[in-house]
Structure 1
């Protein structure tokens, strides 16, 4: 099956490439065996993506995956039978790295993205795909939710593509339906978002414009009394800068954190 690269789904291949190439060189940050195997067996030409995103791009993808992995592992240590909903899953391979044998995992994405995903990554009894829009709240009924077991939603490189009013509405709906649930995602500042849009356009992709940014995470608490900000930390916090990286990569990592261009936001839907 072919994938339209002039679309949001077209960007699915970029983080897959990034995790495969960068994790081979930086296994101390993340080793994504499944991504490496998929890329090795994929006949798509990644030359243009590699040229555009380079070493820094790959590093940013494995750091994001590492932060998501760490958050999930900490959550399922407390809630070993939790449900994990991977919003805008694309070709994500997180389940293969974090599965504890008892969690229920859901890959939520648009029908064409899930159809493409299934050509490369098969579902299994506890790793299930849901072919629906994030904004189609009928997916709420497709996931197992038990308050005692907990539920964690993760979104990596997804919310950028949505308008603020869309996210506000769905976050409010989720806070009512999933009390005690938690949500972890990455975000950029307004300044960084402009740079990202220019970078994606360089790949020839004109159909994946990004809109949503976060300068101050406290805005989420204004959206609903049930939304609480647990943390907001700089993107590369806790990740050692390697001397083997190109000088440009080392500079970018420091600048991104210094200017608060990228961050991870962690929210909880309060039970009250």
Structure 2
């Protein structure tokens, strides 16, 4: 029997299904980039018609989702090589399945998301001893107290496709608080320029979701560096850096990747907080 979808599709939480679709559909075709068997299983067993999402986002959108997941996972892998007992906090985790591919049997992983999103997630992806959920808003700083970690073992915050939906002043406040509470921590997330955000909003509207508009953009890392004196370093990395395009991909997809990287319209942002 298939799982019935109860998520409000006219909301930010409704966007959980977009990367799920992308990872399931395009990891089948590109397992060398991402092999997300759990996403494939969830989509196959979810009572929801994904065809409209597929028509609206197409190949390029699907490739962006698997590349984003792979790049974030690679960053986590690099981090736990240095910090094998690290704590990873996935902000706005949605239906992310990275833990299953990254776990070294030593890390501790937290999935932070809104209560309705976590309820839906747990109906499909149960918690485990070292992979648990926190059902709170990112801006409810009480979640800080839910994170149990050893500073010496390192802590990395990651977020994929989430921070876009918030405003600068909201993010500045929470980042400043995090930098103070978690000295020496690192944050890794994806972002777009102001011009790219406008295009992304048009794409989301095509899906019929008018309740998930995007606001936050990063033209360069200077504004984030100025959010707090406890932010030590901000680096921006091109989104498609080191991604080898395949001849089987549409010419349009390959050209979009090339042009967006050349213009630095899509990127990953790596933030480091100062140590005490």
How is 1:57-136 mapped onto 2 (pairs within 5 angstroms)? 57-136=61-140
- Distance in 2, matches of 1:145 and 1:164, equals 28
Alpha carbons 2:220, 2:236 under 8 Å: kept: no
Which residue, 214, 236, 249 being the options, matches 1:245? 249
Which residue, 26, 31, 49 being the options, matches 1:27? 31
1:187 corresponds in structure 2 to 191
- Distance in 1, matches of 2:242 and 2:270, equals 16
Gaps of 5+ in 1: none
Poorly superposed stretches of 4+, deviation over 2 Å = 228-231
- Distance in 1, matches of 2:18 and 2:38, equals 15
SS in 2 for 1:148: helix
State the 1:224 CA deviation.
Answer: 1.4
Aligned residues: 272
State the 1:216 CA deviation.
Answer: 1.0
TM-score (norm 2): 0.97
Gaps of 5+ in 2: none
Alpha carbons 2:221, 2:234 under 8 Å: kept: no
Alpha carbons 1:145, 1:178 under 8 Å: kept: no
Q: Does 1:199 align with 2:206?
A: no
Alpha carbons 2:233, 2:273 under 8 Å: kept: no
State the 1:218 CA deviation.
Answer: 2.0
- Distance in 1, matches of 2:11 and 2:37, equals 27
TM-score (norm 1): 0.98
SS in 2 for 1:223: coil
Alpha carbons 1:229, 1:265 under 8 Å: kept: no
- Distance in 2, matches of 1:173 and 1:153, equals 14
1:257 corresponds in structure 2 to 261
Alpha carbons 2:188, 2:270 under 8 Å: kept: yes
State the 1:229 CA deviation.
Answer: 2.6
- Distance in 2, matches of 1:218 and 1:130, equals 31
Higher alpha-carbon deviation: 32-41 or 55-64: 32-41
SS in 2 for 1:57: helix
- Distance in 1, matches of 2:256 and 2:233, equals 27
- Distance in 1, matches of 2:152 and 2:264, equals 36
- Distance in 2, matches of 1:229 and 1:56, equals 31
Aligned-residue RMSD, C-alpha: 0.9
1:129-172 deviation line (CA, Å, top 9, x unaligned): 00000000110011112210110000000000000000000000
Higher alpha-carbon deviation: 147-156 or 214-223: 214-223
How is 1:147-166 mapped onto 2 (pairs within 5 angstroms)? 147-166=151-170
Which residue, 41, 60, 72 being the options, matches 1:56? 60
State the 1:230 CA deviation.
Answer: 4.7
